């Protein structure tokens, strides 16, 4: 961790959206090094690299921060910079995260606010150096701190216990910002390769032949075929599923026919 | 933690959506008690209460699980039940969470899969006892385990480091399922009370009077008013904001006029 921020903000912008926001994360007055490690790891999971720390605890390379950071122990965490709260206010479009909001427009400290999903939507296409600011574990960001930040973001949670752990809250906000920060995910382009319609119809016909071969009562076959069509229609079979099942029904029909011949 | 599951699944269903899914969380073979505590806390944050543990580590009431659980140390964690993997398969519609997916339909162990948001959409309105299953910290769920589960869910993350910490992964999935599980959030119904259109137009007119009072060049006034209208239009001012700013501009105009009279 370098001691004071003398580099300009976001000079190593790796944002995939040319012209979109560059996003930095700041943690104010964290008590637990482990939470900083957790946040560093989530940052790396969601394509972020710039971590700023205001009044951080000691981050021992043998301690919890590094223990929780996963592969972020190699880059995000050692490159984290200690800065002042003023530095955040002066250099970034700042978004303060809080579980506790005001109820209406009578106070502007924590109102209006956006959900993390709304925040992501509102930043899309806006060229800005944005810093999402998270507060200390037990009391979060103070009113005085939030009053100095530009926007407020709050995660919708259960009314009777809306206060997430610091690391969990940061993870959710970064997850929601992922479309602005992750150039390429680990997922294949298609999460679900559906069979061609011809293959699904072929499976349907094969099921009909199968019903006939096993001598399913003729008057019940249309209903059974409809039921099958509904089930398969909802499941969107892959080509492999359609082909394999078609083969199984064909083999079953043949087995019955062979037995009848014997 | 009661030792073996002899109660029927989901007998204390607190799901707000009558007719929707009841959602249970299972953690298989966790190494770190802290992660179980983190998951218990996130469950409570997102309106869930039923936690099942397969081959869990010792959960010492003075240890990390309870230390990380926040208020869930009062209910979710002490009510967690130790069960077998078979119990999950036999009693629930099971969804296995994994960072590593197959690439296409040639293997069905981890393909097709849904993102957490897609999982939430697909469960909406379906009456089912669903159990979301999370695996051990370093290697997740094995192929043999995933093969026995009904569906696969995977969080989109950065291709070069998609493996989230166990607690973080569970938190994101539960966050995405919140609309099925959280009856009431901590947020007010309106996250943003916009001023009535009349108040925004009034502010706009007042800005025009203000430009006149300060003797802004007459030929530049239409452009300045247009600029102001765009800025305010994007910001969706609250009633309080519109009223306060209108008052400030009125006062400024009066101050200028008084000075001119002196």
ipTM value: 0.89
Indicate the burial class of A193 (C-beta count within 10 angstroms; 0-12, 13-18, 19 or more).
Answer: buried
Nearest-by-CA chain B residue for A192? B112
Q: Which residues of B touch A175 (CB under 8 A)?
A: 155, 172, 175
Query: What's the pTM?
Result: 0.90
Please state, in angstroms and rounded to a whole number, the distance separating the CA atoms of residues B21 and B127: 5
CATH 3.40.1280.10, domain B22-181, yes or no: yes
Chain A neighbors of B190, CB-CB under 8 A? 104
Q: What does the alpha-carbon distance between residue B76 and residue A229 come to, in Å, rounded to a whole number?
A: 42
Name the B residues in 176-235 with CB < 8 Å from any A CB.
178, 182-188, 190-193
Q: How far does A140 lie from chain B, in Å, by closest CA?
A: 15
Q: Give pLDDT tens digits along chain B (262 positions).
A: 544 444 444 444 444 545 689 999 999 999 999 999 999 999 999 999 999 999 999 999 999 999 999 999 999 999 999 999 999 999 999 999 999 999 999 899 999 999 999 999 999 999 999 999 999 998 999 999 999 999 999 999 999 999 999 999 999 999 999 999 999 999 999 989 999 999 999 999 999 999 999 999 999 999 999 999 999 999 999 999 999 999 999 999 999 988 888 7
Task: Look at residues B85, B195, B92 and name the one whose alpha carbon lies nearest to residue B136.
Answer: B85
Q: Which of A170, A70, A138 is nearest to B166 (CA)?
A: A70
Mutate to test the interface with A, among B165, B169, B173, B199 (most CBs of A within 10 A): B165
Distance CA B78, CA B71 (A): 11
């Amino acid at each position: 961790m370098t001691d004071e921020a003398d580099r300009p903000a976001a000079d190593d912008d790796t944002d995939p959206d040319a012209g979109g926001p560059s996003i930095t994360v700041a943690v104010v007055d964290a008590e637990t090094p482990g939470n900083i490690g957790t946040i560093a790891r989530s940052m790396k999971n969601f394509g972020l690299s710039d971590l700023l720390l205001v009044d951080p605890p000691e981050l021992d390379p043998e301690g919890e921060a590094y223990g929780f950071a996963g592969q972020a122990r190699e880059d995000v965490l050692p490159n984290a910079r200690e800065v002042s709260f003023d530095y955040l206010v002066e250099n970034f479009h700042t978004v303060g995260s809080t579980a506790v909001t005001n109820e209406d427009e009578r106070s502007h400290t924590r109102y209006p606010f956006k959900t993390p999903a709304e925040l992501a939507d509102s930043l899309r296409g806006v060229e800005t150096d944005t810093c999402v600011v998270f507060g200390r574990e037990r009391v979060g960001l103070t009113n005085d701190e939030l009053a100095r930040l530009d926007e407020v973001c709050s995660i919708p949670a259960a009314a009777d216990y809306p206060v997430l752990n610091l690391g969990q809250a940061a993870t959710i906000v970064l997850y929601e910002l992922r479309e602005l920060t992750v150039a390429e995910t680990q997922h294949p382009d298609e999460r679900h390769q559906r069979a061609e319609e011809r293959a699904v119809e072929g499976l349907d016909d094969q099921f009909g032949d199968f019903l006939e071969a096993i001598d399913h009562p003729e008057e019940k076959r249309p209903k059974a075929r409809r039921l099958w069509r509904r089930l398969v229609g909802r499941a969107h079979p892959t080509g492999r599923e359609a082909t394999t099942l078609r083969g199984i029904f064909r083999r079953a029909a043949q087995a019955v026919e062979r037995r009848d011949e014997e």
